[in-house]
Amino acid sequence: MEKLNDVIAKQVAIAIETLYGAVVPTENISVDVTNPAHPGDYTVVVFPFLKVSKKSPEATATEIGEKLIANADIFASFNVIKGFLNLEIASEYFCKALEQTLLLPDYGFVKPLSGEKIVVEYSSPNTNKPLHLGHIRNNLLGHSVSEILKANGHRVVKVNLVNDRGIHICKTMLAWQKWGNAETPETQNQKGDHFVGYYYVHFEKNLKREMDELMAQGMTEEQARDNSRLMQQAREMLRKWEDRDQETIKLWRQMNAWVYEGFEQTYQELGISFDKTYYESETWMPGKKIVLEGLKNGVFVQKEDGSVWVDLSDQGQDEKILLRADGTSVYITQDLGSAEMRMNDFEADSMVYVVGSEQDYHFDVLKKTLKKAGREWADRIYHLSYGMVELPEGKMKSREGKVVDADDLVTEMVTTAGEITKELGKAADLSHKEAEELFKTIGIGALKYFLLKVDPKKKILFNPQESIDFNGNTGPFIQYTHARIQSVLRNAKLSQLEWQDYQAAPLSEDEKSLLKLIFHFPAVVKAAGEGRNPGLIANFTYDLAKQYNQFYHTHSILSAETENSKKIRLALSLQTANILRKGMKLLGAEVPMKM
């Protein structure tokens, strides 16, 4: 179905060509919803057409308006305010367009597999700690962006890059060796990722103790860290790992297996999945190969100590290390390798990296380094940079164990949702099983909506209690609106009332406002895909729910004056519910049928 804004723009283009003999591309015609302070439904800005009309703004707008009324039955009337042409859409067209949207199961979405192939990387956890609140925003953002890109017709491949190697992993392994006493997640009755995460924090606490002693002897903090016995042992373990020492590899595999099992449980709770998982333990060697190839070709340089660097001074940067003096890789080495691996695997038109804003500089360097290495596809890399999630008491710190654990947060959200829902009496008519499912739907939906309604680039101050509110811009408000509509639809069926075969009739302003939002849905999906911004979907969905509630409280549906009005309002309700459900699904959230 053609978007209403596009239909209006085409009619305006025809009118201009007929009146003034000038061809104006429709993309140059601005069509927006009319300001509520003025009469009309859609407004066309006529100032750009004055060169061809050679008349005043008011005269130009009037001539175009008269031509539209005479030649297109879509318009009922018009008015002019300076250079703005306000158009009233005929109720007959509104009613017909609503019916057309209801006949399209995929209304708002582009034909599947008609766009580009896009690889989206998100999650990227470290195997030395469980997922926390910051990871949740990353996962939810990556999943939602993937779904929105699919809705825009793109072929999406969702990938995860697990950070399963490096000095931080060796810290955890070393801590378990020293203080683990052969304990396992099973013997401690603990999720594997939580079990391993304890030893990461334990290492850092003991490292701090060593550093404090060395700093008391006159060393700087950096010197104390480099000279501490624990850090030297961790670096030695990393060298053993890269040399494929059997005992080290065996321990590494065992501890990672504990973590993966824990991760999978968390992913399932959040509804997160991937098409392919990459591991840094597999990508660092291809990355090292790129570096050595660049060194051989004179693209990169080797210093006296044996370390390899890239000089980006000609691109406004400085020198960046690619391999340490001892030959071990650094963070960017494996990113070079993983980028090439997924390009070889998928020949993607675009590779989206969902990574926090603190890595903006890193991705700039990554693209420029790949370009230096002759990888012209480096321009296809898109860093979806997002702001951090902070708590009312400040930033989270993994090393100190001061984080909001993902599993604990999900449990808290579901529990709180249950308490509030029961307090408000919204689960009174449900069985125990139905109520438990509802609490989970509301709790996790509230979490997802709260974290996704904000523009990705902005920081979020997360307050769990604030997110579970049945009023305001929240997930539960939208979920309750959907459940309310389902109640109306069930009652209509009991009354043997269907929306089909209604006749066009005059519409109230509330009904028109609801319809204009319904017709705007495809444009929002498109804009959210282009901007990789789920916040546009979230806030549109809220606006739609808010408008429906205003309509619901002002106009009776099943007790409307005429049978035809009942059908029209029922059709409006049905399509509103459809779009609320689609919008929330694009955010990875569900909507209940009862509440």
How many CA atoms lie within 13 Å of 484's alpha carbon, on the beta-carbon side? 19
The C-alpha atoms of residue 166 and residue 164 are separated, in whole angstroms, by 7
Q: Pinpoint the alpha helices (H) of 495-562.
A: 509-531, 534-554
Cβ contact 442:479 at 8 Å:
yes
Residues 6 or more apart whose CB falls under 8 angstroms from that of 400 comprise 201, 204
User: Over 207-260, what HEC string results?
Assistant: HHHHHHHHHHCCCCHHHHHHHCHHHHHHHHHHHHHHCCCHHHHHHHHHHHHHHH
> Residue 377: helix, strand or coil by DSSP?
helix
| Ramachandran sector of residue 90 (left: φ over 0; alpha: ψ -120 to 50; beta: rest) | beta
Token couple for 437: 């499912």
- Positive or negative, the CA dihedral 481, 485, 486, 487 is positive
| Domains in the chain: boundaries | 4-89, 122-390, 406-586
> Residue 101: helix, strand or coil by DSSP?
helix
The C-alpha atoms of residue 104 and residue 87 are separated, in whole angstroms, by 27
Per-residue DSSP letter, 380: G
Strands 308-311 and 84-89, sheet pairing:
unpaired
Token couple for 418: 């249950």
Question: What digits encode the pLDDT tens for the residues 31-53?
Answer: 999 998 999 999 999 999 999 99
- Positive or negative, the CA dihedral 576, 152, 529, 100 is negative
Instruction: Give domain 406-586's CATH number out of 3.40.50.2300, 1.10.3720.10, 1.10.730.10, 2.60.120.380.
Output: 1.10.730.10
Note down pLDDT in tens along the chain; length 595 residues: 788 899 999 999 999 999 999 999 999 999 999 998 999 999 999 999 999 999 999 999 999 999 999 998 999 999 999 999 999 999 999 999 999 999 999 999 999 999 999 999 999 999 999 999 989 999 999 999 999 999 999 999 999 999 998 889 999 999 999 999 999 999 999 999 999 999 999 999 999 999 999 999 999 999 999 999 999 999 999 989 989 999 999 999 999 999 999 999 999 999 999 999 999 999 999 999 999 999 999 999 999 999 999 999 998 889 999 998 988 888 899 999 999 999 999 999 999 999 999 999 999 999 999 999 999 999 999 999 999 888 776 444 444 445 788 999 999 999 999 999 999 898 888 999 999 999 999 999 999 999 999 999 999 988 888 888 888 999 999 999 999 999 999 999 998 999 999 999 999 999 999 999 999 999 999 999 999 999 999 999 999 999 999 999 999 999 999 999 999 999 999 999 999 999 999 999 999 999 8
Would you state the CATH architecture of domain 4-89? 2-Layer Sandwich (3.30)
Class of the 122-390 domain?
Answer: alpha beta
pTM: 0.92
Backbone angles phi, psi at 290, to 5 degrees: -60, -45
CA–CA distances in Å: residue 244 to residues 238, 277, 331, 507:
10, 22, 19, 74
